[in-house]
Structures are given as C-alpha cells and as structure tokens.
C-alpha cells in the first residue's frame, strides 16, 4: 500500500513536469501566430495597437521633414497666417492710401512677408490709443510729429530695429530745414521716421502779380504790406486765405505767423492779408483762385502749391523762412502681432514706395532723396528744386503745444472779427492806404493806424461782464471754454461787434 502511494506520487510529479514543459512552450507558438491569424480581423484595442506601433516608425521617418518645415512656419507661417493683412491707422486721404496699397501688394516685399492686403483705418487721432492698446493695429502712418511724439511718450510705438528697416532709414536725412526727420529715443533707437516732408507756404501767380507791378512775396508779412494794399485799394483782390474754421491748413499757417511774429504783430499780418484780398470757404478754393488768376498769392499747404505748379506754369510755390516744416511720420505700433511685416512695410514706404508722392493727385514731397533718381522722380524737377531749397532752409521752431492751447480762439476770432467784418475792414484799410500814398499822412502815422486797426480787440467778457483785451494769456485761459457752444456763440458775437466798432473808429481818424 505504501509502495502504491509512492508510485502514485511519482506519477503525479511526472504528469506535472510534462504539463509544465508544454506550458512553457505554448507562449511562443501563440505569440507568433497571433499577429498572422487574429490581428487583421480582430478590431480589439490590443490588436489595433500593433498597426499603430508598426506605423509609428514610418511616421517618425516622415516627421523630420515636417519638423524642419515647421520652424519657418512657426516663425513665418503663424505670421503669414496672422499677417496676411496689415492694419494701418492713418490720417491720409484715399488717393495716397489707394496708390500705396496697389503698389505695395505688387512688390516683392509683400510677397516675401506673405502680405495679401493692407487695411487702412482713417480714424480720428483721438481713437488711435484705444485701437493700439487693444492690439488691433500694426502701423501708424501720417498725422504729424505732435501726434506721434505723444504716442511715443505713452509707450505705444515700437523701435524700428530690423535690418531691413534700418538699412532703409540710413537713406533718410536726419534733419530737413532744421527739423528732425525721425524720433530718436533716449535709448538711441528710432521710434518713428518721416515718409514725406510737409511745409506751409504761399502759392503765387507770377503773371497776376507782374501785371500789377507787385514783387513776389518772400515772407508772410509781404502779403500784408502797403504795396499789396495799394493794388487792393484799386479793387484788385491780391491775396487769398480761407475761413479758419473751414481749413486746418490755413489755421496752422495763422498759428505759424502768430509764433513767428508774436501775438500783436502776428494778428496785424493775418488781418491785413485778409484786407488785401479774398476770404474763401476752404483751402482748396484758395489754391484754385491762384491757379485761375483770381488772386495773386494765397496761403496753401505744400502739395496744393505743387498741384498748382503742374496745372498752371504761371504759378509757383514759395516757402518763406518764417514758416514751419516737418516730417510726416510712419511707425510700428505696440501690440502688433506682425512686427517683421510691419517693419517691412515701413521700409518699403520710405524707399520703393516713395514714388507715390509724384502722382499728380498726391503731390507730396518725398523724404528720401533717392526718389528723385526714379523715372517718376526725374519727371518732377519742380519738386527737386524745392527739396534742395529745403535742405538749406532754417525755419522757426514751431511749438505745437502752444498752438493747440489757443487754436479755438484763433479759429473763431478770425471768423468773427475778420471774415464777418471784411467789408468794413477793407473800407478802413483802403482809406488808410490811399491816405498814405496821397501824402495825407506819413509812414509812421500810417503804420501806427494800421496797428490800431488790426490789434486784437478789447471787449466785454460774456461770463464776467468785465472789459478785457484779447491777449495771448487771455486766449489760453478761455480756449477750452469755446468747446461749449453757448459760451462760444456769446463770445463770438462780442468779438464781431467789438471788431466792427474798432474798424469804424480807426476809419474816423484817417483824413
């Protein structure tokens, strides 16, 4: 029995060894057959994993090319995808914008940076800050140095640092007529660069002036001279300027004169310029009056003068030394997602894009002297002559802050005291001129009466009831109050009535 038990135990052990042997052989057999027999038809996760695993090397071998292409696309494609359109804040008219868009989009620069469109937003300067701070613009273009210096001070402009824009800026003069053509920050970096040169001057009709024996004006004061007054007294409207509430450029000229000559003398020149001719509804009408020969000389911004020269060879644009010249800026704004493309646009505007200024509908002065070497530039010797003159000219150091602080007063006082009373003003002035040239009064007396005639008025302040004189300090004090229509209407009437009485009183003193 014991032997049988032992034999049974041995049999069990042997059987277990056999089972264990075959058990160790089964996994290889199953593993080798499973991919072939069960993997294709079985849609289970375990069987889908092998195809993914087996294909991964294939994907890994193709990924490197994609990875080498991706960096340009990560540095360039998100830019092209985000920068196919540039958004430009601007104060320019549509003729400049349309010409710039058309020419730029055809350029190699646009193609290299993937720019497909340029969207211009010609909104009021007061809206620029909010748009820039919201990251909704790439470039700011046009509007004058004061606006751009303000944006720079507020940290809303980016420095122009790329090699392409730096190479372009190297072609631009640092100053023209003594005025800066770029804003260099305290860090030595450039934050805006001029794309065009703006000036304010006098457009003359040489034929008209010659027919009355009048010399060409060399300064603003010449338009207010007794010489011009003598022709005006014979019924010849020699000079022309616009209603200041209807013309920003003529308002700027008035502000230039007031700063160049001082408040009292400046108003003498402004008032007698109006007495020597016509007051138009706008600055375009002044230009057209010179072109047509209605007047001999008129206040104009530079490109109106250049247009006149093209349309009538008898006309000429004169830049007096007692004027202001500035560079019209372009810059890249903070918050742009397209900095490289934006800088490339700036570089293009101050190099290849300069030719748009020669379009007869635009007629601006390029800032880049190389623009005159282009076929378009070589056809404009009139502009080249003015450009060369500007390089040697030293103009006044115009104070924009001061100008803004009295701008409302300058506009409304001119319209109230001068435009609304031009009939009485001219009667008094012509009587004075005739008295002088007929020998009834000497030069000193004539000049003293002219100063009395044109001096800013003394009037009753509608708010205080006090008698006050319109001095520069008083103008600065009340300037912002003219934003209130009720106050403006009251003081406008007070100025108009006081000026009329003043003209009549002076006229009674002239023999």
End-to-end CA distance of the chain: 168
Contact 197, 365 (CB under 8 A): yes
Residue 247: which of 292, 317, 304 has the closest Cα? Answer: 304
Q: Per residue in 58-101, pLDDT tens? A: 333 333 333 332 333 333 333 444 699 999 999 999 999 999 99
196 burial via Cβ count (<10 Å: 0-12, 13-18, 19+): buried
With a cut of 80, say whether residue 244 has pLDDT above it: yes
- Determine what percent of the chain is predicted with pLDDT higher than 70: 84
Structure confidence at residue 35 (pLDDT): 33
- Show the tokens assigned to 285: 């009408």
Mean pLDDT of 292-302: 97
In 364-509, the DSSP E strands lie at 365-366, 458-460, 467-469
Mean pLDDT across the chain, nearest whole number? 86
Torsion of CA 250, 252, 256, 258, to 10 degrees: 80
176 burial via Cβ count (<10 Å: 0-12, 13-18, 19+): buried
Bridge partners (DSSP) listed for residue 459: 468
Contact 239, 277 (CB under 8 A): yes
Structure confidence at residue 248 (pLDDT): 87
With a cut of 90, say whether residue 210 has pLDDT above it: yes
Which residues, including other chains, have CB under 8 Å from residue 411's CB and lie 6 or more apart? 244, 245, 251
pTM of this prediction exceeds 0.85: no
Distance between CA atoms of 28 and 432, rounded to whole angstroms? 125
Q: Per residue in 443-477, pLDDT tens? A: 999 999 999 999 999 999 998 999 999 999 999 99
Q: Per residue in 148-175, pLDDT tens? A: 999 999 999 999 999 999 999 999 999 9
Torsion of CA 74, 78, 83, 89, to 10 degrees: -100
Residue given tokens 């008083």 in the structure block: 474
Task: Kindly report the length of the chain.
Answer: 511
408 or 400, which is more confident: 408
Contact 299, 222 (CB under 8 A): no
Structure confidence at residue 82 (pLDDT): 61
Contact 201, 396 (CB under 8 A): no
Task: Give the chain's domains with CATH numbers.
Answer: 81-198+327-392 (3.40.190.10), 199-323+398-509 (3.40.190.10)
With a cut of 90, say whether residue 41 has pLDDT above it: no
Distance between CA atoms of 22 and 29, rounded to whole angstroms? 11
Q: Per residue in 251-265, pLDDT tens? A: 999 999 999 999 999
């Amino acid at each position: 029995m014991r032997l049988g038990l032992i034999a049974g135990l041995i049999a069990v052990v042997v059987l277990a060894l056999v089972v264990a042997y075959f058990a160790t052989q089964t996994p290889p057999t199953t593993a080798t057959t499973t991919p072939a027999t069960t993997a294709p038809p079985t849609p289970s996760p375990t069987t889908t994993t092998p195809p993914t695993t087996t294909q991964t090397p294939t994907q890994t071998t193709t990924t490197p090319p994609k990875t080498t292409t991706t960096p340009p696309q990560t540095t360039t494609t998100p830019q092209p995808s985000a920068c196919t359109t540039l958004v430009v804040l601007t104060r320019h008219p549509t003729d400049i914008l349309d010409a710039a868009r058309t020419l730029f989009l055809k350029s190699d620069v646009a193609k290299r940076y993937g720019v497909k469109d340029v969207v211009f937003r010609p909104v009021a300067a007061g809206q620029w800050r909010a748009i820039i701070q919201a990251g909704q613009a790439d470039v700011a273009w046009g509007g004058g140095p004061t606006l751009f210096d303000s944006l720079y001070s507020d940290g809303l402009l980016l420095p122009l640092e790329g090699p392409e824009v730096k190479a372009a800026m190297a072609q631009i003069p640092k100053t023209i007529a003594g005025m800066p053509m770029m804003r260099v920050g305290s860090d030595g970096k450039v934050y805006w660069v001029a794309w065009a040169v703006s000036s304010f001057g006098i457009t003359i009709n040489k034929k008209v002036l010659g027919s009355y024996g009048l010399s060409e004006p060399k300064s603003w004061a010449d338009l207010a001279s007794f010489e011009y007054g003598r022709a005006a007294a014979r019924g010849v409207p020699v000079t022309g300027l616009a209603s200041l509430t209807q013309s920003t450029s003529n308002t700027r000229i008035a502000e230039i004169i007031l700063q160049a000559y001082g408040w009292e003398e400046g108003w003498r020149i402004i008032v007698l310029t109006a007495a020597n001719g016509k007051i138009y509804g706008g600055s375009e009408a002044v230009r057209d009056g010179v072109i047509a020969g209605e007047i001999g000389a008129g206040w104009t911004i530079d490109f109106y003068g250049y247009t006149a020269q093209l349309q009538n060879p008898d006309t000429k644009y004169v830049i007096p030394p007692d004027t202001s010249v500035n560079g019209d800026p372009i810059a890249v704004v903070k918050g742009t997602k397209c900095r490289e493309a934006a800088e490339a646009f700036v570089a293009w505007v101050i190099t290849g894009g300069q030719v748009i200024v020669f379009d007869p509908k635009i007629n601006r002065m390029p800032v880049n002297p190389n623009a005159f070497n282009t076929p378009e530039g070589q056809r404009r010797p009139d502009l080249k002559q003015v450009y060369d003159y500007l390089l040697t000219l030293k103009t006044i150091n115009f104070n924009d802050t001061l100008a803004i602080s009295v701008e409302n007063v300058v506009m409304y006082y001119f319209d109230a005291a001068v435009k609304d009373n031009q009939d009485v003003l001219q009667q008094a002035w012509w009587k004075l001129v005739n008295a002088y040239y007929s020998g009834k009064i000497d030069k000193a007396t004539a000049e003293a009466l002219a100063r009395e005639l044109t001096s800013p008025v003394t009037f009753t302040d509608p708010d205080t009831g006090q008698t006050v004189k319109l001095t520069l300090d008083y103008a600065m004090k009340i300037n912002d109050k003219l934003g209130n229509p009720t106050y403006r209407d009251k003081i406008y009437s007070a100025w108009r009535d006081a000026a009329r009485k003043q003209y009549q009183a002076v006229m009674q003193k002239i023999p």
